[in-house]
């Protein structure tokens, strides 16, 4: 009888392990969990970035919050997964929140991660407590072409071909030229370049192409939760365009940083921390 009980327990444990590990493998990201608190914060990094981009922010909230810091599959050295698309990644995050019974988390996203935060709050309005969007727009393409309309299907093969056939040195030089246009803090530039270089080229190309075809301007009408939008200083110069993009988002507070570029958490850190603290405490 004892042997039978032991075998039954062993079988049940094996099934549990298969369910847990099988379930984790379906998520299109790696996650680091830290801190303890009833309220949760989910940190989503931007395009080709590591979850380490949130290191300083996370340190401020780990005492009082449970922090879930993501690094998306294929980015910054994380193993790539098939079917990398904006919608699939959004769905994967939503499933993770449901599976782990995370109650009304605050979602903080930078760049494309900010786009994912907007999409999550739009498609799952009862799932999210608050969102903080760090330098992202509902439709990046419309910043340059106000008449932009997303295509139902977009051919990313040319982008994939260009990125995957570039040599390591060519790709590094591409990133070395582009990152200083996004990040003023020179002490952080090589780190951010390194995240891009460690990213899977196919994922890099596919997500760049797919996100370029993403338009959330109408969808954000569905967002019900409080929303804080932190934008880089430059966007003040095109404020009417920014306001137009966000006009369908109720309960939104738009704030422009005082200096620096796209990586606001590095370039205007004091202002950035002040805005987030005020919003979370409100």
User: CB–CB of 64/36 below 8 Å?
Assistant: no
Q: What is the pLDDT, as a whole number, of residue 23? A: 47
For residue 85, give the nearest of 73, 77, 97, 95 by alpha carbon: 73
| Mean pLDDT calculated for residue range 87-104 | 98
User: CB–CB of 268/257 below 8 Å?
Assistant: yes
Q: Which residues pair with 70 in a beta bridge?
A: 31
Q: What is the pLDDT, as a whole number, of residue 258? A: 96
Q: What is the pLDDT, as a whole number, of residue 152? A: 87
pTM for this entry: 0.91
Phi, psi of 227 (to 5 degrees): -135, 130
Measured at the alpha carbon of residue 134, what is the angle toward residues 108 and 174, in degrees to the nearest 5?
Answer: 115
The CATH number of 29-281 is 3.40.50.1820
User: CB–CB of 125/223 below 8 Å?
Assistant: yes
**Which residues lie below 8 Å from residue 62, measured CB to CB, with a gap of 6+?**
34, 35
Structure tokens at 282: 């409100």
Bigger pLDDT: 19 or 276? 276
User: CB–CB of 231/255 below 8 Å?
Assistant: yes
Tens-place pLDDT, residues 40-78:
999 999 999 999 999 999 999 999 999 999 999 999 999
Structure tokens at 147: 């008449």
**Any idea which residue has 């570039």 for tokens?**
166
| Mean pLDDT calculated for residue range 218-238 | 97
Segment (H or E) for 8: helix 2-24
């Amino acid at each position: 009888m004892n042997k039978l009980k032991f075998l039954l327990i062993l079988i049940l444990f094996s099934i549990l392990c298969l369910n847990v590990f099988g379930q984790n493998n379906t998520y299109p990201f790696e996650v680091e969990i830290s801190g303890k608190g009833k309220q949760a914060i989910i940190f989503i990094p931007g395009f080709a970035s590591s979850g380490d981009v949130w290191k300083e922010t996370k340190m401020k909230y780990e005492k009082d919050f449970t922090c879930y810091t993501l690094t998306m599959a294929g980015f910054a050295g994380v193993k790539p997964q098939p079917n990398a698309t904006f919608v699939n990644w959004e769905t994967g995050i939503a499933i993770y929140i449901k599976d782990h019974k995370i109650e009304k988390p605050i979602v903080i996203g930078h760049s494309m991660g900010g786009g994912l935060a907007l999409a999550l709050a739009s498609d799952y309005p009862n799932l999210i407590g608050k969102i903080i969007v760090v330098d992202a727009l509902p439709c990046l393409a419309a910043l340059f072409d106000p008449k932009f309309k997303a295509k139902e299907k977009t051919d990313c093969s040319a982008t994939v071909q260009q990125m995957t056939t570039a040599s390591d040195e060519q790709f590094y030089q591409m990133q070395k030229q582009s990152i200083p246009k996004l990040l003023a803090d020179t002490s952080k530039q090589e780190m951010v370049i390194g995240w891009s270089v460690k990213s899977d080229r196919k994922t890099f190309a596919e997500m760049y192409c797919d996100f370029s075809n993403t338009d959330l301007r109408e969808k954000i009408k569905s967002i019900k939760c409080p929303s804080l939008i932190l934008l880089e200083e430059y966007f003040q110069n095109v404020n009417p365009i920014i306001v137009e993009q966000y006009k369908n988002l109720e309960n939104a507070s738009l704030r422009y940083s005082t200096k620096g570029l796209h990586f606001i958490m590095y370039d205007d850190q004091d202002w950035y921390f002040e805005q987030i603290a005020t919003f979370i405490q409100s």
